[in-house]
Amino acid sequence: MIRVGRRQFLASGVAATLAARGMTAEGKPAGLGMPVDFHVHLDNSTIDRVAELSRQRDVKFGIVEHAGTKENIYPKVLSNDQELAGYLKMLEPYSVYRGVQTEWTDWATGFSPAMLARLDFVLTDGMTFPGKDGRRVKLWEKDVEARVEMADHEAFMDRYVDWYVQIIGRPPIDIFANFSWLPKPLAPDHDRLWTPARMKRVVDAMQKRRVAMEISASYKLPSLAFLKLAKAAGVKFSFGSNGRYPNMGKLEHSLQMAAKLGLTPADMFMPERKS
């Protein structure tokens, strides 16, 4: 008779439960391999520290820097071929995917097609939005209600969905990040405002343009209903933390959603590493 110790017995029970849920013992979806955090910023750190964190957390990183015209106010914005070439050269020695986070619809005007083709991926979001005067407004800023008309939530949502579709329709875009995020005045009604019709319109645009939907670990968005709709339509997915050091690679929520959806490698966005 073979005796099984209590710890071994409990461990086998936990493993069986995780397997039934499509998870590994490390809490990752079975069959997906090493997860990739495609939404990593270097703002308050260095590539060496971030690369070491990638190894420690067993998560591959996709590094992004803001890209667009100088009208976009960030500590650093890549705006031309020379700046983009320097950025790519800096990342070249490291085992990371090299991308940009685009700003506004005119972001690509400063770059040649040949230089953009050297990127591994292009990520964007809808969080910079046309204000009352037509100028770009960061929807997370405190004075947003004074600069963007949003007293009528339904009317704002219609414009917001139009904005999403407009951004998606301007290639080259690979990943739509911070997906379904809403500004603070609307956030409590997120699930009500993202109606089935609004969700479907955006999902249809993503499927048509082959744009992947980020499962955000930081915002815990989009909703499971949104994700299920996207999966049924054949939209691919990516994971993203929007992390600044040391918070990149913390993908627990993304991985949990992947397990609930039963995602496989065929469902995931994956670029080819370019030279």
Greater confidence, 90 or 44?
A: 90
Q: Does residue 113 have a cis peptide bond before it, meaning omega lies within 30 degrees of 0?
A: no
Percent of the chain at pLDDT > 70 equals 88
> What type of residue is 10?
L
Q: How confident is the model at residue 27 (pLDDT cuts 50, 70, 90)?
A: low
User: What local confidence, expressed as pLDDT, does residue 72 receive?
Assistant: 81
Q: How far apart are CA 101 and CA 175, in angstroms?
A: 9
State the amino acid at position 228 in one-letter form: K
DSSP 8-state symbol, 274 = P
What share of the chain has pLDDT > 90, as a percent? 83
| Integer-rounded Cα radius of gyration of the chain | 20
Contacts of 68 (CB under 8 A, 6+ apart): 77, 78, 79, 102, 103, 104, 106, 107, 110
Backbone angles phi, psi at 102, to 5 degrees: -80, 155
Please state the φ and ψ torsions of residue 101, each to the nearest 5 degrees: -105, 115
Q: What is the pLDDT, as a whole number, of residue 258? A: 98
CA distance 123 to 130: 19
Helix (H, G, I), strand (E, B) or coil at 209: helix
The single-letter code of the amino acid at 219 is Y
Global pTM reads: 0.89
Q: Taking 80 as the threshold, does the pLDDT of residue 275 lie above it?
A: no
Which carries the bigger pLDDT value, residue 146 or residue 32? 146
* Residue showing tokens 């910023």: 41
Lowest mean pLDDT among 10-19, 20-29, 160-169, 216-225: 10-19
Instruction: Tell me: pLDDT of 5 over 80.
Output: no
Q: Tokens representing 160? A: 């917001």
Q: How confident is the model at residue 21 (pLDDT cuts 50, 70, 90)?
A: very low
Report pLDDT for 170.
Answer: 93
Domains, the chain: 1-30 (no CATH), 35-265 (3.20.20.140)
What is the per-residue pLDDT for 26? 55
Helix-helix angle 196-209:224-233, to 10 degrees: 40
